Amino acid sequence: MTSTLHFRGRAPGRAVSVVQSVAMALVALLLAVVFAIGGGLPAKAADGASPFGSMDSVSIDSQGRMTVAGWTIDPDTAAPVEAHLYVDGRGVPSVANIRRDDVGAAYPQYGANHGYEISIGVEPGRHSVCVFGINVGAGSNTLLQCRDTSSYGSIRYVYPTSPFIVTPLAAGQYGAPRSGYTHQGVDILPKTRGVDQPILSVASGTVTYIGPLSSGWGHYVDVRNDDGVRVRYAHLKERAPVSVGQRVTEGQRIGTMGGSANGRLDTYAVHLHLEIRPSLSSSATTSPLPFLKARVR
């Protein structure tokens, strides 16, 4: 028996079915070229009334479970709206109500509870993945983005420096006690003192933030990897030679090791402070050493 699933948005009479999704998928494949060139939809839909947002990451675990994460907002309401995932024509409805502080900071009038993480089981191979923001009020459902898991499935990791030298000092280890807090990253040392040490992106992803020299991390750069993992590279020698929204690949130079912090370039001895946050929906960090050792091949 073949079942047709109907996922109804909040607009009366508006429904999206698996049968209809075939037509949507065909349109999505044509639009994929535009997304690849232009970097996706603009921050807000052109009509000012339809949902807008982003598909931030697609990951597949060892059990064949795909998780798609991102966010969506409808300009007609501050309340969470539905996000529908389609994988090869199979639909999964969800409500985008996960707290995303970065979204709340960018769109304070709507609040922070607009993130989604949607999971579905998939077979090995190539998959077409699309997410729609479901409209309420005026406007229409919005195709947020489509991706192909041949590019956004399991990704390759590398170490952020070559060679990868972890400080022997206890204070530089992950979880080390500091004055009123614990160290949320690990400190990496240069190969040779006095010689610029390149900092490399540990995986392919998108630059999400460039930190100012005045911060406690000094010059730093945040990258969201294609599997949703967020990485911070801090205490750089100078402003990172990348820009927000720029795509980077694993092993690409994104900075130079330094000791900057609190408005000075020489606050600390030269090192890299590396932080890793494995979930888009949580600010919790994880120890970088076992994380990287399990992934670098």
pLDDT digits (tens, 9 = 90+) for 165-193: 999 999 999 999 988 899 999 999 999 98
Q: Where in the chain is the domain with CATH 2.70.70.10?
A: 165-293
Q: Taking Cα atoms as reference points, which of 158, 155, 225 lies closest to residue 198?
A: 158
pLDDT tens for 196-218 read 999 999 999 889 999 999 999 99
Question: Count of CB atoms within 10 A of residue 50's CB?
Answer: 20
Give pLDDT, residue 228: 78
| CA distances from residue 105 to 38, 59, 111, 220, 269 in whole angstroms, order as listed | 24, 25, 8, 19, 33
Supply the mean pLDDT for the chain.
83
Q: Which amino acid is at 288?
A: P
Give pLDDT, residue 65: 82
Q: Taking Cα atoms as reference points, which of 169, 164, 193 lies closest to residue 269?
A: 193
- Averaged pLDDT, 221-232: 90
Give pLDDT, residue 274: 98
Domain 165-293 - what CATH class? mainly beta
Residue with tokens 């009334």, as numbered in its chain: 49
CA atoms within 13 A on the CB side of 232: 23
pLDDT tens for 44-103 read 555 678 999 999 888 776 567 889 999 999 999 999 999 999 999 899 999 999 999 999
Architecture in CATH for domain 6-152:
Sandwich (2.60)
Per the model's pLDDT, the better-predicted residue between 94 and 156 turns out to be: 94
pLDDT tops 60 at residue 40: no
Q: Where in the chain is the domain with CATH 2.60.40.10?
A: 6-152
In sign, the C-alpha dihedral spanning 6, 80, 138, 105 is negative
Q: How far apart are CA 15 and CA 8, in angstroms?
A: 5
pLDDT tops 70 at residue 10: no
b/e 204-240 (16+ beta carbons within 10 angstroms → b): bbbbbebbebeeebbbbbbbbbbbbbbbbbbbbbeeb
Per the model's pLDDT, the better-predicted residue between 43 and 123 turns out to be: 123
Radius of gyration of the chain (CA): 21
Q: How far apart are CA 8 and CA 16, in angstroms?
A: 6
Q: How far apart are CA 269 and CA 259, in angstroms?
A: 5
Give pLDDT, residue 48: 75
Structure tokens at 290: 């076992």
Question: Count of CB atoms within 10 A of residue 71's CB?
Answer: 27
Q: How far apart are CA 35 and CA 19, in angstroms?
A: 24
**Max mean pLDDT range (9-18, 45-54, 215-224):** 215-224
| CA distances from residue 293 to 155, 159, 216, 287, 289 in whole angstroms, order as listed | 14, 9, 28, 11, 6
